[in-house]
Structure 1
């Protein structure tokens, strides 16, 4: 009876010792995988007319994935453009008036030159007694009248040009703000398009086509999963063994007893310690303060956000 109890105690002691050995921590840091997640939000108010995003979709940067109703800014832009067109027409009409009067002046000047030639011819005829003095006087009167008309036409052109100059300044002062308004409305129209900002996988969808949306309202969450970051925690005595850019070994569970390993590069080391997260074990379980380390790991599609991972410093090389 005593020997039987002794055998049981020896067997239990063996199991306890084996379990203790199997639970031995053989890594330098542990944590979970993260990704640079981007929440894409609406940049315009209105109804979500179309929205083709689905969770798990692979999207490229620049893909148009939806459209918000932008009828109001479109109408506002049309109104601004109509006002600009009216100002341009006003300027065009004034310029056309000036050109018309200038053409009239050119005709009058041509008539004056013709009349001057005729007067010279008439003066010669009068000297030869081939024309009367009255004919010459009538010719001089016509030339005098034509010269007065030319002077009046030139005065009219000067007035038109002065008015047009003032009008053009007024038009420009009105046209500038209208053009800026049109650009602002166009920008609002452009923001009605939902454009995917980065290449990655859609993690979460927050909206559906047909819903009302607003500026800043989240539509979906996306992340590039080609490279993930293991945020691991190490004790202070390991800080001297690592540096930024150093290559370390990262591993994840593969089955119950096996591991899959990946090369990783340290991209960031915390400059301040923090209390050990409850979900993290370290080699020294009594350690209250640890340092966070971020390790970039190339993803072979097996790594997932939130997955547990371990970091092993030994065997890493610096680059």
Structure 2
């Protein structure tokens, strides 16, 4: 379809170019176009809300609807409950080793008491050595238990972090369930309705910024030399029976490649149909529409 429209545009442009030799008032003709963006679903499920209409102007960042998120919400609540259960199993290391710490303090008191007895020749050196050895045994028990409990706590923390990552993934899916318009413009086509089942990548609507609109036209090789980027030109549109409406436009793009019409060149005369595509940016007062024809005058 685009190829057909392009051929028609080239044909009309050539017709105007040909008429220029007969003092026609226009230098070129073409059709208006705009950058059209298709907004697609970013989640799967039924569309619970979708409040847009064709022709409606939407702002960038505006939320226009959402896709059902109940199953995601329930999964998130389940994961949050799992995190609480996992964290509740984490050992309180200080409490767990409290009895051994108390045992260590008692062992130190016993060693001090025996040391005093040894000084008074009321206890043997072996008893003192045994008391000292027992202190080291209790210390090793404390270290071993702290290490074991620390490993258990770290393992449970890793498990909880894994669940937290899953929640973050669900939060991302929940945010994607919102239908957010990213580009300011007018709704050109609406493809879906509320309560329809959609899926990731399925088109929802098409939008285009029509505050400025582009006139694509074709000029001859002779006219090509008269144009430059940023050049102001006159744009004419046949809006009513009273005549043409004049608007100022700016040349924003000039093709650096020529096109032939027809494509198969047979004679030298046909090579005069060498044309270049150009784009002219025009401020839209609301009357200009995509696909509408427009004429150009360079001077």
Q: TM-score range by the shorter chain?
A: 0.7 to 0.9
Q: Which residue of 2 aligns with 1:216?
A: 201
| Deviation (angstroms), 1:191 | 0.8
SS in 2 for 1:188: helix
Once structures 1 and 2 are overlaid, which stretch shifts more, 71-80 or 255-264? 71-80
**2:265 is aligned with 1:270:** no
User: Take 1:46 and 1:87, find their aligned partners in 2: how far apart are those partners?
Assistant: 31
User: Take 1:305 and 1:223, find their aligned partners in 2: how far apart are those partners?
Assistant: 10
Aligned pairs, number: 272
Instruction: Output aligned runs, 1:213-292, within 5 Å.
Output: 213-275=198-260, 288-292=273-277
Structure 2, gaps ≥5 residues long: 1-18, 263-269
From 91, 95, 98, the counterpart of 1:100 = 95
- Cα RMSD, aligned residues only: 3.5
* TM-score when normalising by structure 2: 0.76
Deviation sequence 1:40-81 (CA, Å, 0-9, x none): 111111000111111122211111111101233333334444
| Deviation (angstroms), 1:36 | 1.2
Q: Whose Rg is larger?
A: 1
Q: Which residue of 2 aligns with 1:189?
A: 174
Once structures 1 and 2 are overlaid, which stretch shifts more, 28-37 or 249-258? 249-258
Residues 101 and 157 of structure 1 are in contact (CA less than 8 Å); yes or no, is this contact kept in structure 2?
A: no
**2:26 is aligned with 1:27:** yes
User: Take 1:53 and 1:73, find their aligned partners in 2: how far apart are those partners?
Assistant: 25
| Deviation (angstroms), 1:24 | 5.6
User: Take 2:242 and 2:276, find their aligned partners in 1: how far apart are those partners?
Assistant: 28
Deviation sequence 1:278-312 (CA, Å, 0-9, x none): xxxxxxx9964422111111112222222111111
SS in 1 for 2:169: helix
TM-aligned CA distance change 1:311 to 1:33, over 3 Å: same
Residues 101 and 153 of structure 1 are in contact (CA less than 8 Å); yes or no, is this contact kept in structure 2?
A: no
Q: Which residue of 2 aligns with 1:155?
A: 140
SS in 1 for 2:256: coil
Residues 203 and 220 of structure 1 are in contact (CA less than 8 Å); yes or no, is this contact kept in structure 2?
A: yes
| Deviation (angstroms), 1:176 | 5.0
Q: Which residue of 2 aligns with 1:203?
A: 188
SS in 1 for 2:49: strand
Residues 46 and 212 of structure 1 are in contact (CA less than 8 Å); yes or no, is this contact kept in structure 2?
A: yes
Structure 1, gaps ≥5 residues long: 1-19, 128-132, 278-284, 315-319
| Deviation (angstroms), 1:154 | 2.4
